[in-house]
Structure 1
Amino acid sequence: LIPTAIEFYHSPHLSLKLASLCLFHGLSRSVHQLRTTINDTICDILLDAIKSSDLSLVKIASSVISNSVLELST
């Protein structure tokens, strides 16, 4: 699932980029071990997204990063 979402993020279509970031956002709220695995895999994508001129990409990427640094699950 994650490799497909990564492929979609690299698409020129904004809707696919947003969908992949929404998936990462949902997964980033999972248990800590899963978040660590996801973060290692999508770190470059998140850094790219927060530099985007499209505010919707920046917003979702920022949410994923926030979930990753906060302990939302026990």
Structure 2
Amino acid sequence: MTRKDLADAMRVSSGRVSQILSGDENLTIRSLAAVAHALQANVEISFHGIPPRHQGSPSDTDSPTYDPVSPFVPSAS
């Protein structure tokens, strides 16, 4: 499938498809679903628990504590 074919299937411009495929875009789930639909594919998103770290491991002293409420902003330890 060419970029033009994908653009036609998504009903967007070829330029928009280029933006999506460049890897520099911060895509929404809706955008991913539109690409998947055009490719006749499904999107599956899954969440997995973070394995516990061992106390005293070197990574514990070098990195902040994981905060499950705000995973993108680590809490101070």
User: TM-score, normalised to structure 1's length?
Assistant: 0.26
Return the index of the structure with the highest Cα Rg: 2
User: TM-score, normalised to structure 2's length?
Assistant: 0.26
- The structure with higher relative contact order (CA 8 Å, sep 6+) is 1
Q: Choose between structure 1 and 2: higher helix proportion.
A: 1
